[in-house]
Amino acid sequence: MTSTLETSGQSAAPARVATKRHYLMCRPDHFTVAYRINPWMDPAVPTDTSLAVAQWNTLYETYLSLGHTVELIDQVPGLPDMVYTANGGFIIDNVAYGALFTHPERQPEGPAFMEWFREHGYEVAEPANTNEGEGDFLLVGDVILAGTGFRSASNSHEELGEIYGREVVTLTLVDPRFYHLDTAISVLDPLTGDKTANIAYLPSAFDTASRLELEKRFPDAILVSEEDGAILGLNSISDGYNVVIANRAVGFEKQLRERGYNPIKVDLSELLLGGGGVKCCTLELR
Ligand code: ARG
């Protein structure tokens, strides 16, 4: 039984505060599915680049309408997955830890993103270990949650801890559909210094030790349904109040409202053919 805000009295949802964010996106001018490096991708299924651009544009306009700043990186022809900028690096305090991609198909993206970071005044930390940026590294309050199992190697977690001097918590993913951490966890209040920062996650995407760690650290987390998880519903972006989510994530939408967040639904069905959603198309520049 879930109690509603009206009847729960003392446990009413806290007031949520939105803060302005700074994002990096890549218009999918050369989007297609040309290879298969995750179970969502099937090169035999046709893609519609103009539809991908139109859907991406709705996401872009949504961020602008919320008052966020969005920078753009040009998509390099022949690198169709560049639209998923979340994998291009990880940035805190102007220091960008570069990505070193797992699959050869995406490896040229690493230097392309690092060049953009340098040109835009970020200090670049060249990676020594395989990692896919914010796809696997999520800042929650002062702690970095770091995924491994499919893409980022666990020695990149150590590297990350040395670069930023913050606590890094390793979490192991076990379901190939949820190959990046941002497909299984959504950071709802991602501000540095916020001790009450909360998350939403899909427990079945993790091994037992990681599940226990998440239960211990985030006792008030939103646990999403398998249905919402299975359409990459967790792959979302929050500014602390507004949470941009997949339009099909109806259960998650309800859970967010109950907690006092404002879910905003967008349709990125075409980009889902590459195995990515809202979060994958967005890199936070801190
Ligand atoms: N096709 C891309 C890949 O498999 C999708 C990346 C999605 N990005 C993310 N942050 N989960 O690498």
Nearest atom (ligand 1) to Cα of 106: 12
Dist CA 274 CA 240 (whole Å): 28
Task: Tell me whether residue 20 is exposed, middle or buried, using C-beta atoms within 10 angstroms of its C-beta: 0 to 12, 13 to 18, 19 or more.
Answer: exposed
Residue type, 283: L
Arithmetic mean of pLDDT, 131-153: 97
Quote the percentage of the chain above a pLDDT of 70: 93
Average model confidence (pLDDT) for the chain?
A: 94
Arithmetic mean of pLDDT, 195-216: 94
- Long-range CB contacts (within 8 A, 24+) of 43-48: 45/273, 47/270, 47/273, 47/274, 48/270
| Cα radius of gyration rounded to whole Å, the chain | 18
Phi/psi zone of residue 110: left (φ > 0), alpha (ψ -120 to 50 degrees), beta?
alpha
At 68, list the tokens: 């966020």
pTM for the whole structure: 0.94
Q: Where are the domains positioned within the chain?
A: 22-284
Residue 104 makes CB contacts below 8 A (sequence gap 6+) with: none
Predicted local distance difference test score (pLDDT) of residue 231 = 95
CB of 274 closer than 6 A to ligand 1? yes
Predicted local distance difference test score (pLDDT) of residue 192 = 66
Predicted confidence (pLDDT) at residue 10 exceeds the cutoff of 60:
no
Select which of 26, 68, 280, 281 is catalytic: 280
Q: Is the Cβ–Cβ distance between 237 and 282 less than 8 Å?
A: yes
Annotation says 68 is catalytic = no
Predicted local distance difference test score (pLDDT) of residue 11 = 52
Predicted local distance difference test score (pLDDT) of residue 6 = 39
pLDDT tens digits, residue range 38-83? 999 999 999 999 999 999 999 999 999 999 999 999 999 999 999 9
pLDDT tens digits, residue range 249-269? 999 999 999 999 999 999 999
Domain 22-284 has CATH 3.75.10.10: yes
pLDDT tens digits, residue range 228-251? 999 999 999 999 999 999 999 999
Place of tokens 């859970």: 255
CB of 280 closer than 6 A to ligand 1? yes
Better-predicted residue by pLDDT, 197 or 129: 129
Nearest to 133 by CA among 91, 189, 94: 91
Predicted local distance difference test score (pLDDT) of residue 123 = 98
Arithmetic mean of pLDDT, 99-127: 98
193 confidence band (pLDDT: 50, 70, 90): low
Select which of 30, 68, 157, 180 is catalytic: 180
CB of 89 closer than 6 A to ligand 1? no
Arithmetic mean of pLDDT, 112-136: 98
Predicted confidence (pLDDT) at residue 215 exceeds the cutoff of 60:
yes
| Cα angle, residue 262 at apex, residues 261 and 265 outer, rounded to 5° | 130
Q: How far is the CA of 10 from the centre of ligand 1 (A)?
A: 41
DSSP state of 264: E
Annotation says 180 is catalytic = yes
